[in-house]
């Protein structure tokens, strides 16, 4: 435990750039054995950044000659536009309100009705996945999440910033609440590229909106349990809608996984607002007293936690959607636990079982994995579509390992079931554990992390990477979460024992400690690790994913003031990293006050889709439509001007 507080001046004096680079390379080469081979202080020294340096100065990390990162790094930007590396083009696509059906039109004053919104692309784009049609790279289904609608809290009561037009205003009618409900959830959008330009196939039978009112089923071990029954649904299996759909996942059997994150924010009460009345579990999941800013509880009793105390138990799940069948019923897979799900990343274990890695995005919450009971069988749709209903959920414990202060260690997966004696005495059954996943994880000694966001699995090595975005409230440190008041975040990675995703133990290390080497810090760790330089400085890694070649793409959702702690970091951005050399280059920067999130590629890796969420969340952007227009979340399509693979 504890920070090593290595003297950075000594580091920069004693180690030249080449020495540091060689040390990194040596670690890469011997990576699977480095826990045994590398001395603690040497490893920590190699990991850490040198001191203060000017932009473009001599302290920049040595450039790799690897062909993996083939583009020229982009400087930080504070422009109200999307900026992308030289030789690439970024095109706005399918912003909020884009018609999926020809009988609606986008009304630029924000006056589309709830009924119209049901036929339009939703608000606040987040996780995204391209499902090719017949394996093609020029036609497919683009499926994405619409996480929430941007609000302002200037008056203490949150008004919707743009959903009802240019003047921030509350959801003070059933029609307005229903417009919000219809603006959230997911979109399935049939898209096609003709003469080089992608377009929505308006009126396609594939086009679908899944909203916060779409009927869906609870399946798996907790389905039908008393904890999931409400007055409207005595079966405990039929839910209306999905909310706060943040990151995503997909399966090799062509389904989309949408992840319910900050659903607690939609539950409030209009009953006796001065009396608490929340259960300990509701408090642990962050349901707050009184009314919410979204206002849904005033018009739909199910969002009132006093009127329907079990309704909130029906959110916080991973939902599996078949995008190719517009009549299919989405399924909330209870076997994967109930948390504030960020995203879901699958791997196939050595024996064919399916593993799903997941993070719970809350300060000091946990990283999980699910291991299916059954095996994935390529092409066996009937078998595969039930795999996420039966299996075992585990939570991660990250130990400091042989030494503290070296940003690496060992880890173990702790079973969350009635087989675990630490749970058997205090939980009534598996459903109780799954509905109260956080409480179960609290009870077994899981490691509290710095806000787990996305998880992704290296396509060749099965090495797993996860973003820990920041944690301003951290007071106790460990090797995996080595900074108090962590404002910059880090990326952790682990290698399962024997390379088997179903293993019960692993080795881990930090891939990058994000930071800002361009300003002075009291805690030298805030300069970041050695692969953070004046040229790529960033904070709050969030979205994360590999492309087919093994480039690691990093997206940020953090401080964008470009001053103080965030000086020289610019707007939120997308970077690309080499998993072996650990070099990181900035690839794209978003418009003002946005988050860059979600990423997916066509099979040929020549079209990249990302999402720009909440541009102008403080009122400072008119992207993408320009002056005088409402800012809109949108997808951005990135292509390489020479038609090549993105990033090459």
Residues binding Ca ion (CB under 5 A): 400-401, 403, 406, 408-409, 453, 479, 542, 557
Query: Mask of contacts with ligand FEO, 259-288, x by CB under 6 A?
Result: --x---------------------------
Number of helices (H) and strands (E), helices first, in the chain? 11, 33
Binds ligand FEO by CB under 6 A, chosen from 80, 322, 342, 412: 342
Half-sphere exposure for 222 (CA within 13 Å, toward CB)? 33
Q: What is the nearest approach in angstroms of Ca ion to the Cβ of residue 613?
A: 9
Three-state secondary-structure class, residue 27: helix
Q: Residue 15 to residues 192, 509, 518, 643: CA-CA distances in angstroms?
A: 53, 21, 19, 41
Residues with Cβ < 8 Å from 305, sequence gap 6 or more?
267, 268, 269, 277, 278, 282, 287, 297, 311, 312
Q: What is the nearest approach in angstroms of ligand FEO to the Cβ of residue 184?
A: 12
Structure tokens at 245: 């759909």
* CB-nearer residue toward ligand FEO: 48 or 466: 466
Say which entry of Ca ion, ligand FEO, none residue 320 contacts (CB below 5 to 8 A, set by partner kind). none
Q: What is the nearest approach in angstroms of ligand FEO to the Cβ of residue 259?
A: 9
Question: For the sheet containing 541-546, what is the strand order?
Answer: 83-84, 584-589, 573-577, 552-556, 541-546
Long-range CB pairs of 438-442 (<8 Å, 24+ gap) are 438/284, 438/285, 438/338, 438/339, 438/360, 438/365, 438/366, 439/281, 439/284, 440/395, 440/416, 441/365, 441/366, 441/368, 441/395, 441/414, 441/416, 442/284
* CB-nearer residue toward ligand FEO: 112 or 244: 244
* CB-nearer residue toward ligand FEO: 415 or 542: 542
* CB-nearer residue toward ligand FEO: 454 or 494: 454
Query: Mask of contacts with ligand FEO, 446-465, x by CB under 6 A?
Result: -------x------------
Query: Mask of contacts with ligand FEO, 218-247, x by CB under 6 A?
Result: ----------------------------x-
Residues 412 to 451 in contact with ligand FEO, rule: CB under 6 A:
none
Q: What is the nearest approach in angstroms of ligand FEO to the Cβ of residue 125?
A: 11
Q: What is the nearest approach in angstroms of ligand FEO to the Cβ of residue 147?
A: 6
Q: Quickly tell me which residue has 């079990």 as its tokens.
A: 310
Q: What is the 3-state secondary structure of 166-217?
A: CCCECCCCHHHHHHHHHHCEEEEEEEEEECCEEEECCCCCCCEEECCCCEEE
Say which entry of Ca ion, ligand FEO, none residue 496 contacts (CB below 5 to 8 A, set by partner kind). none
Three-state secondary-structure class, residue 499: helix
* CB-nearer residue toward Ca ion: 41 or 105: 41
Say which entry of ligand FEO, Ca ion, none residue 401 contacts (CB below 5 to 8 A, set by partner kind). Ca ion
Q: What is the nearest approach in angstroms of Ca ion to the Cβ of residue 431?
A: 28
Q: What is the nearest approach in angstroms of ligand FEO to the Cβ of residue 260?
A: 10
**Site residues, ligand FEO (CB under 6 A):** 147, 246, 261, 342, 361, 453, 542
């Amino acid at each position: 435990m504890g920070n090593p507080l290595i003297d950075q001046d000594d580091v920069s004096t004693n180690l030249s750039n080449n020495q540091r680079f060689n040390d990194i390379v040596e670690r890469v080469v011997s990576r699977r054995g480095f826990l045994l081979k590398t001395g603690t202080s040497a490893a920590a020294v190699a990991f850490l950044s040198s001191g203060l340096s000017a932009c473009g100065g001599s302290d920049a990390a040595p450039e790799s000659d690897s062909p993996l990162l083939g583009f020229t790094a982009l400087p930080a930007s504070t422009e109200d536009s999307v900026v992308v590396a030289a030789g690439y083009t970024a095109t706005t696509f399918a912003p909020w309100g884009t018609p999926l059906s020809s009988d609606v039109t986008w009304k630029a004053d924000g006056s589309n009705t709830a009924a119209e919104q049901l036929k339009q692309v939703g608000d606040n784009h987040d996780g995204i996945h391209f499902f090719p049609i017949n394996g093609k790279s020029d036609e497919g289904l683009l499926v994405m999440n619409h996480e929430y609608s941007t609000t302002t809290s200037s008056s203490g009561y949150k008004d919707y910033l743009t959903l009802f037009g240019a003047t921030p205003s509350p959801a003070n009618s059933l029609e307005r609440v229903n417009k919000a409900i219809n603006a959230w959830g997911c979109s399935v959008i049939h898209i096609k590229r003709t003469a080089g330009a992608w377009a929505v196939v308006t009126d396609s039978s594939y086009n679908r909106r899944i909203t916060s009112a779409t009927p869906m089923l609870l399946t798996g071990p907790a389905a039908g349990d008393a904890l999931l029954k409400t007055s409207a649904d005595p079966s405990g299996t039929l839910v209306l809608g999905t909310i706060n759909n943040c990151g995503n996942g997909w399966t090799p059997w062509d389904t989309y996984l949408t992840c319910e994150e900050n659903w607690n924010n939609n539950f409030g009460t209009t009953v006796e607002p001065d009396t608490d009345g929340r259960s300990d579990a509701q408090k642990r999941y962050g349901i707050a007293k009184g009314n919410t800013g979204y206002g849904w509880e005033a018009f739909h009793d199910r969002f009132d936690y006093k009127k329907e105390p079990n309704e909130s138990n029906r959110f916080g799940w991973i939902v599996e959607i078949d995008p190719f069948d517009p009549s299919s019923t989405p399924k909330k897979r209870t076997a994967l636990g109930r948390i504030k799900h960020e995203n879901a990343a699958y791997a196939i274990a050595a024996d064919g079982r399916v593993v799903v890695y997941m993070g719970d995005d809350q300060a000091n919450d946990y990283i999980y994995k699910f291991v299916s009971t059954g095996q994935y069988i390529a092409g066996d749709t009937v078998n595969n579509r039930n795999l996420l209903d039966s299996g075992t959920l585990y939570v991660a414990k990250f130990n400091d390992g042989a030494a503290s202060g070296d940003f690496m260690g060992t880890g173990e997966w702790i079973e969350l079931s009635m087989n675990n004696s630490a749970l058997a005495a205090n939980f009534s059954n598996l459903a109780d554990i799954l509905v109260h996943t956080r409480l179960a994880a609290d009870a077994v000694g899981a490691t509290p992390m710095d806000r787990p966001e996305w998880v992704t699995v290296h396509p060749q090595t099965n090495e797993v990477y996860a973003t820990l975005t920041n944690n301003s409230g951290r007071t106790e440190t460990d090797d995996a979460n080595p900074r108090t008041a962590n404002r910059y975040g880090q990326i952790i990675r682990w290698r399962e024992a024997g390379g088997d995703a179903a293993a019960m133990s692993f080795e881990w290390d930090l891939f990058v400690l994000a930071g800002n080497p361009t300003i002075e810090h009291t805690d030298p760790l805030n300069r970041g690790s050695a692969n953070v330089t004046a040229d790529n400085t960033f904070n709050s890694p969030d979205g994360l994913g590999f492309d087919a070649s093994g480039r690691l793409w990093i997206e940020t959702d953090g401080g964008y003031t470009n001053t103080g702690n965030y000086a020289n970091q610019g707007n939120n951005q997308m970077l690309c990293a080499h998993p072996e050399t650990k070099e990181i280059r900035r690839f794209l920067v978003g418009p003002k006050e946005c988050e860059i999130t979600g990423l997916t590629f066509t099979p040929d890796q020549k079209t990249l889709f990302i999402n720009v969420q909440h541009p102008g969340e403080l009122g400072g952007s008119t992207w993408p439509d320009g002056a005088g227009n409402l800012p809109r979340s949108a997808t951005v399509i990135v292509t390489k001007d020479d038609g090549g693979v993105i990033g090459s």
